[in-house]
A and B are shown apart, each in its own frame.
Chain A
Amino acid sequence: MMEITKDMVGERILLLGNEAITRGALEAGIDVVTTYPGTPSSEIADTFSKIAKHATKQDRDPGFYFEYSTNEKVALEIAAATSFAGLRALTCMKHVGLNVASDAFMTYLYLGCKGGHVIVSADDPYCHSSQNEQDNRYFALFGNAPMLEPATPQEAKEMTRLGFELSEKLQIPLLLRTTTRLNHARGPITLEKLQKPRRKGHFERDSSLVAMPNTARVKHSALLKKMKQAEKISEKSPFNTIIHIGKPKNIGIVTSGVSFNYVRETAEVLKLDVKILKIGMTHPLPRMMCENFIKSLNTLVIVEELEPILEQQFKAIAHDIQSDVKIYGKSTGHFSRLYEYTPDIVAEVLSKIFKVKNPFPKPVQPKLELPSRPPTLCPGCPHRATYYAVKKAAPKGTIYPTDIGCYTLGKAPPLETADLLLCMGSNASTACGFAIATNQKIVSFMGDSTFFHSGIPPIVDAVHHNHNCTITVLDNRTTAMTGHQPHPGTEYNGMGRPARLIKVEDVIKGLGILHVEIVDPNNIKETTSAFKRSLEFKGPSVVISKSPCILLELQRKKKSGEEIPVYSIDQEKCKQCKTCISQFGCPAFYFAEDESIHIDGTQCNGCGNCVQICPFEAIYTKEESK
């Protein structure tokens, strides 16, 4: 029995924000879950996957259908259809995933859903694990979606559970907008009853579901009417509340999401007399509630991370009701539109506005200079071997467009095999662009999951227009960076059931690529030759570099009892040429104080590729296993 599927009403358990969303969906009787993994959203889907696999192992139905879809757009469209058949659906993704799904999202809102559909966007202020920090609250305003924003794991669970009811009542898919500090925060959750899902729906034909000009015009008007109804719901929503700190008179703070936590705690510590309007249903805003709040104040502070979305709306409301309330926020320069907030930032600004002493000490910085410790490709990562081989094969001035995954870490010295990155799939399209614009050699990189996600259309373009570039698929048999989720190239699916494996090379050949090389990167000499041949080929070529993620390999070896060798350096033979460090860059290598080079046995994962690159044959296997 997994703790998260316990049917113990009233029991309190500790859950990650993301797990709380999963629990909320289970308490709402979820039927269908679709996703494409992406930090900070991944654990929502991974938890469904774990529950489903657990059930599969016991030969029973978990009660819901779950899949890791090919990409976010596919995920949203699949779930939309299940909603039109009357089922409850949840689709989760990272913020930039909603860009991919946005084509479907915008028109889906027009059509409206039938079964409740909660779409989770996991935003990433500060770009902890992302290429930008876009504020997806704009998507709710952009497309007219009702939006909920939880501040704590408990609220995330409740908003998910009640979000399905709300979505069903309004017949609009709902946006649950979260941020990293909610997704990856743990807190106590009070369990409610699990609901039984329906599992099969029925689709009733409805001509208004075919989005064409005449239906779209009608549907747009219907959507705006539904949003008027949503505003009435927002006025009475339990998620929109006013909290009094001290003995407030005419000072107020408006806040939402995780910022509320910092505001509440800071207001208490600063001993402010203030009322806090905490908005949980942030679109549409409870207009009357906001008006009345403004009317009761002479000073209003708006605390929200990233864009001034609440601020602009509150300013507009204040203007409409001719209030002369003084509004502090981003436009007055008190708060930043950048990065995530912290208790320190909120305390600093509030103490400045209310002219009280900030009780938190000024942060001390260490005087000693500390070496940075960025994430790196793991010791034994097959990508390192591929990159090393490419650098041997490609001339100076070669352009390396890259993509999103562990392999982006090839940007760091000494590999430096990343020159341009926009988004998922951009490696191959930007390779085509460079082929048009320059005479430079081009080698681009994408992972296998990225290939299926959005890497195929640009290869079609490369074939059709004969763009002269080499596109590499780093096929490590998994979606590694986000936590080893399966993808269309794996032989099992997210429910732990057998799935049809699609080979990258079959797709590539089917697309009409004439020069295809399939290599094992752990054979560095052959991989180098393959890249040389591909670079000489006139027209688009593809190198598929196939080797499983070292972390999966280690797991497999440990399970099967296979020995994991540990490598060492023969100090007699080592001439300190530093190839292993300054060109190969395996983090298991280090310099001792006397400048001699060693391998840290606790870090070495036993790939043995360093043996191939050492010009003096100084690296050997120790007999003992790890």
Chain B
Amino acid sequence: MSDKTNIVLTGVGGQGIITAANILGKASVNAKINVFTSEAHGMAQRGGTVICTVRMGNVSSPLIPSGSADVILSMEPIEALRYITYANKKTKVITDINPIIPFTVAVGGCAYPNLEDVFKEIRSLAELYKIDALKLAKESGHIITKNIVMLGALAATDILPFKSDILLDIILDNVPERYKDINKKAFNSGIRAIKNLKDFLS
């Protein structure tokens, strides 16, 4: 077991990626484990690609060396592939399956690749876990909880150096009373989605 936990969070500006990174950081502090995160702000947030990194344990830098991520958690399929440079064969790439077509496709003549090809390439370089986080978020009560579904999925991988309850507590601490229930549902549905996939694979 390594003394470092390296997580890449990615997706498109507005999908709650910074929030998710912040939640992971706070949970780590609560678990009394050293943590650094790095975020994208400013110009990068207007619908552009976003990457945040979270590192726990014996780390000095918030940036992750290439090929050293334990998990790449992606809110959008091609964004997972865009940052595949952080992956090695053992990296778990967890991605939502719902594409967000960049506007460059409509105006620029470049194409959004075939999703199966995207998944195939990820699978050739790392361990792929696909989940329909958007659907799970909707079922939990609101699409805005998609990042929470993804955090549930992350918790189910057992790579976090603390119990998933600590993570859920932080999530619930940060939302108003009336949203606690849907966030809890979203988190648990993410956990279940990965457990089901694991059962299916084993």
Contacts and interface: CB of A to CB of B under 8 A. Distances in A.
Contact of B35 (A187, A261, A377): A187
A378 B46 CA distance: 7
A35 interface: no
Interface string A399-415: 00000001001000110
A523 interface: no
A364 B85 contact: yes
B194 to A, nearest CB: 24
B48 A406 contact: no
A428 B125 CA distance: 51
Given A40-B42, A258-B61, A366 B103 contact: no
A14 B108 CA distance: 41
Name which of A42, A347, A367, A373 has the most chain B CB atoms within 10 A of its CB: A373
Interface string A170-203: 0000000000010011111000000000000000
Interface stretch (A49-57, A462-470, A580-588): A580-588
Interface in B71-110: 78-79, 81-82, 84-85, 87-88, 101-108, 110
Counting contact residues on chain A (CB < 8 A from B), the size range is: 35 or more
B176 interface: no
Interface in B100-125: 101-108, 110-113, 117-118, 121, 125
A554 B86 CA distance: 37
A376 B107 CA distance: 12
A181 B62 contact: yes
A13 B101 contact: no
A184 B85 contact: no
A377 B37 CA distance: 27
B142 interface: no
Contacts of B196: none
B202 interface: no
A12 B41 contact: no
B166 interface: no
Contacts of B45: 375
B47 interface: yes
B44 A129 contact: yes
A348 to B, nearest CB: 10
B65 interface: yes
Contacts of A184: 38-41
B164 interface: no
A188 B29 contact: yes
A342 B13 CA distance: 23
A361 B67 contact: yes
Contacts of A482: 42
Given A258-B61, A360-B66, A364-B125, A129 B25 contact: no
A376 B63 CA distance: 26
A389 B28 CA distance: 51
A370 B29 contact: no
Contact of B63 (A186, A342, A591): A342
A342 B68 CA distance: 13
Contact of A265 (B60, B104, B105): B60
Interface residues of B, number: 59
B157 interface: no
B118 A371 contact: no
A91 to B, nearest CB: 20
A375 B46 contact: yes
B81 A370 contact: yes
Given A187-B36, A188-B35, A370 B44 contact: no
A372 interface: yes
A272 to B, nearest CB: 14
Given A188-B29, A344-B65, A128 B46 contact: no
A414 B107 CA distance: 7
B182 interface: no
A365 B106 contact: no
Contact of B34 (A188, A343, A370): A188
B195 to A, nearest CB: 28
A421 interface: no
The residue in B21, B25, B35, B46 that gathers the most chain A C-beta atoms within 10 A of its C-beta is: B46
Contacts of B159: none
Nearest to B47: A376
A264 B38 CA distance: 18
B81 A366 contact: yes
A594 to B, nearest CB: 14
A204 interface: no
A185 B102 contact: no
B105 to A, nearest CB: 5
Interface of B: 12-13, 21-22, 25-26, 28-29, 34-49, 59-68, 78-79, 81-82, 84-85, 87-88, 101-108, 110-113, 117-118, 121, 125, 143
Given A12-B29, A368-B117, 5 more contacts: A14-B35, A371-B102, A372-B108, A481-B46, A587-B103
Interface of A: 12-14, 16, 39-40, 42-43, 128-129, 152, 181, 184-188, 258, 260-262, 264-265, 342-344, 347, 360-378, 406, 409, 413-414, 481-482, 581-582, 585, 587, 589-591, 602
The 5 lowest CB-CB distance pairs between A and B, nearest first, are A39-B42, A361-B67, A261-B61, A129-B42, A375-B46
17 contacts: A12-B29, A14-B29, A128-B40, A186-B22, A261-B63, A265-B60, A364-B84, A366-B82, A366-B84, A371-B105, A373-B49, A374-B48, A375-B48, A376-B48, A414-B107, A585-B107, A587-B47
